[in-house]
Structure 1
């Protein structure tokens, strides 16, 4: 490589590319716990970053001829570091506060993304036109080509490095520190070999600000319980916390599983007890031999099924970080009766040749089932893997009626196109966002409430289900919702009415002796 091809300005370009794309990937992880990771969230992130960069390019291009200098590059990098320190210190607080603004749900994430990531991205956009102006290359085309190439290389490094190396290994604060430190060190490097006292003081002040943002207690964030373990997995933010004798698994800030530390066999969340409802839809409990759970979480259901029934349980969990947390903190032990497969649930169904008597769909990210596990094509696949008398139970988060029920009613209608019999059970009071359990069978006739009660009273299930039977959703209006298909599954828009509504999880249970 020619000695004049890489100089101080192009170093700044390379680093700005790494930082801007890395921050874009990081934005998705910061925003997801409050706003989800829907297409609206990622569309907002991509749109804000492109807008900020474009404005920076345009403004920087107009100023480059008169203002561009190595000193101005240092200033831009230092101010970018200041903004990174701000998002580390106050990012969670600002995100939570903006979530309460009266903005249509699909546009909600635009505000925090713009406030937190717009300014540093805008400043980083100045660097490329400044660097082109300062280039030692004689040709304007050659200078532009070099800047574009290095900026793109930096973006590639930032995208792959953040996705595959940083997020699986470090917390958001540490990743922010890495990017802030990168721009800070680059700014300091541009001052060598003879920095002025003023430049040294500026670098030291920004260094103190960045370290202070990382070391300071979280601003305005109150976490429930005592944190036992916390990490960023490849898929989500994971936290395990203990409170009042109960250990809870939080994924992207939402509780997904809970375990009573003194009585691990107790169903802390009411909806997990409803996983036993399918035993009322088979000829007998003994008819269930092979069970598949799609989604593991804290493995409450799979563990109890393997311990209490004479069944073989397979669990498909896409996130290896969740599986490891379940082993370390939720007493998960695999063996002949309980196997774990770390992969996507739909992919597993395509590849397995096992016939199941019961499939429990318990996979959701934050508050929604991944769309490819909601469609007719997916449910067609489940029927192929179910035995002739097999039962499917789908656990979804929605309201069973009212303004937040669109997703539930669309899912119900979709399942009706595949299964002859579909029945739904709410787990909390009507009209609120909650876990709704949908039971589908291949049988052409449905069971009456009296028949369900009789079977619940006489079968050795071990958990009382009368309250679940009482909460059967008697009628579901589906005429105004779509059938979900792979090529047309508007899950995000169906979930919009739920935004801002409180998600209710009932706790406590009544158990019986098997």
Structure 2
């Protein structure tokens, strides 16, 4: 009877021929998983150039959601105009080719055409994301034969797609990234998508485009080897390289995401190359009697320059390091000469959680150096985090931290204000123009070092050590530091807009 629930959806509906329920579920599950793999890996590809910031994460998530929405809408529209069996194979194959080329294209753009990096990055997420998201409406159209089962088919495939997205997220975050380089993940995914395209086309209409797309995937693999920005090691968080001093000797520089992070002299750990490291050493040398062994905790490890320095200059010192990146710890052991029993114990853990594991009053010194070149772990900057630092420090203990900032120094001002809320004595070390000792127009930004304690530290001795190490740095404290800090807001677990404060165009920039 006309209008009966069992009536066909349309006379020309392709029906289920050539696409059973298992094949349909496999296509929807795999394409949905692939979208999330691309999204997560794109974050890692962009982090060396844009930073692993809230803005970067928001941008990538927003682009991925845009791709999913656009692909689902357009795919549904086209599926009503064209036989979906003609579309699924090309969608998988073209997205696989784009995914395979993504590492080489993004890294080359960042090196040679940084002005268009955001555009290229957007396209490498939008194109495969939209094509893969269109697979679900294509498959749904093929599986629908009557209005009576619309809810069942749509609901089932929607659920399968969601489970696929969850699987792709968990697989990438917990398995793939820890075992494979980013480029390898994308090349492998690209190859799987092209293979899926070939499988579907073979089953339905004997399409011959798979060999050409396979060549694109192979070309992507070859291009990755020639693309700039290659890593010695891709860790969970960084693209890492170790660079030896060109003039020989034991000097090694640990480069993370293209930025010099640590310098270690394998023959003489007292050689400190970076100014901020010499500043931290100057504070420690002035705050504690010469040669006195310390019990220290380091939030962030990098090349372990400071723990090595303390072990060499203060025998019997015990340093415990919280380093979140196990790959960096492995580099220290395999390439930077870290040996057991050297007075340095490293735990692979988040710095905030590492602090919580320590007993009250158990540390003479806490060193904060978990700040990257273009991003800052905000949860290590708040009043609550500093309260944890104060809790683990013993009587007379000292906290000294490396800060990164630029522009109007808005983050540094907020962090100093936050420390002043927690500790009785605060001092800031840095280039004169950066800390209020000269015209603010001359401020270049970069590294600052902040000193916090509940007992006074001999700042004249600190300045003498800074001068002896030829840092050119000065110290600001007292009313001058209060004036420099201004009306900066405290950073708390409830409100810590660190990524925004680090932006050059933040509201207080240019002071």
TM-score range, shorter chain: 0.7 to 0.9
How far apart are residue 368 of structure 1 and its match?
3.4
What does residue 131 of structure 2 align with?
Answer: 123
What does residue 297 of structure 1 align with?
Answer: 302
Distance in 1 of aligned mates of 2:227 and 2:325: 30
Match of 2:289 among 261, 269, 284: 284
- Segment of structure 1 superposing worse, 176-185 or 346-355: 346-355
Conserved? CA contact 2:368–2:400, under 8 Å: yes
What does residue 211 of structure 2 align with?
Answer: 204
Q: In structure 2, do the counterparts of structure 1 residues 452 and 319 end up closer, same or farther at CA, with 3 Å as the change threshold? A: closer
Match of 2:367 among 343, 360, 364: 360
- Segment of structure 1 superposing worse, 20-29 or 282-291: 282-291
Gaps of 5+ in 1: 102-108, 457-462, 500-514
Q: What secondary structure is seen at the aligned counterpart in 2 of 1:417?
A: helix
Deviations 1:254-293 (A, max 9, x none): 2211224554542122221222223355362355521111
* Residues 414-429 of structure 1 aligned to structure 2 (within 5 Å): 414-426=418-430
Conserved? CA contact 1:260–1:268, under 8 Å: no
Q: In structure 2, do the counterparts of structure 1 residues 146 and 81 end up closer, same or farther at CA, with 3 Å as the change threshold? A: same
Pair 1:215-2:222 in alignment: yes
Conserved? CA contact 1:48–1:113, under 8 Å: no
- Segment of structure 1 superposing worse, 235-244 or 328-337: 235-244
Match of 2:175 among 165, 189, 197: 165
Distance in 1 of aligned mates of 2:242 and 2:194: 34
Conserved? CA contact 2:463–2:475, under 8 Å: no
What does residue 79 of structure 2 align with?
Answer: 64
How far apart are residue 151 of structure 1 and its match?
1.2
Gaps of 5+ in 2: 1-17, 435-442, 507-511
Match of 1:377 among 357, 373, 384: 384
Distance in 2 of aligned mates of 1:417 and 1:260: 38
Q: What secondary structure is seen at the aligned counterpart in 1 of 2:202?
A: coil
Q: In structure 2, do the counterparts of structure 1 residues 429 and 250 end up closer, same or farther at CA, with 3 Å as the change threshold? A: farther
Distance in 1 of aligned mates of 2:184 and 2:348: 27
Q: TM-score, normalised by structure 1?
A: 0.84
Pair 1:435-2:447 in alignment: yes
Deviations 1:312-348 (A, max 9, x none): 2111111111111111111112327221122122212
- Segment of structure 1 superposing worse, 471-480 or 151-160: 471-480
Distance in 1 of aligned mates of 2:113 and 2:166: 31
Match of 2:195 among 185, 192, 199: 185
What does residue 140 of structure 2 align with?
Answer: 132
What does residue 460 of structure 1 align with?
Answer: none
Q: In structure 2, do the counterparts of structure 1 residues 82 and 97 end up closer, same or farther at CA, with 3 Å as the change threshold? A: same
Q: TM-score, normalised by structure 2?
A: 0.85
Aligned length: 470
Pair 1:488-2:495 in alignment: yes
Conserved? CA contact 1:413–1:483, under 8 Å: yes
How far apart are residue 221 of structure 1 and its match?
2.4
Match of 1:406 among 396, 403, 410: 410
Give the superposed CA RMSD.
Answer: 2.7
Pair 1:309-2:317 in alignment: no
Q: What secondary structure is seen at the aligned counterpart in 1 of 2:394?
A: strand
Conserved? CA contact 1:241–1:249, under 8 Å: yes
What does residue 236 of structure 2 align with?
Answer: 234
What does residue 339 of structure 2 align with?
Answer: 333
How far apart are residue 75 of structure 1 and its match?
1.2
What does residue 21 of structure 1 align with?
Answer: 36
Conserved? CA contact 2:100–2:188, under 8 Å: no
Conserved? CA contact 2:32–2:133, under 8 Å: no
How far apart are residue 183 of structure 1 and its match?
1.0
Q: In structure 2, do the counterparts of structure 1 residues 280 and 324 end up closer, same or farther at CA, with 3 Å as the change threshold? A: closer
Runs of 4+ displaced beyond 6 Å: none
Q: In structure 2, do the counterparts of structure 1 residues 498 and 358 end up closer, same or farther at CA, with 3 Å as the change threshold? A: farther
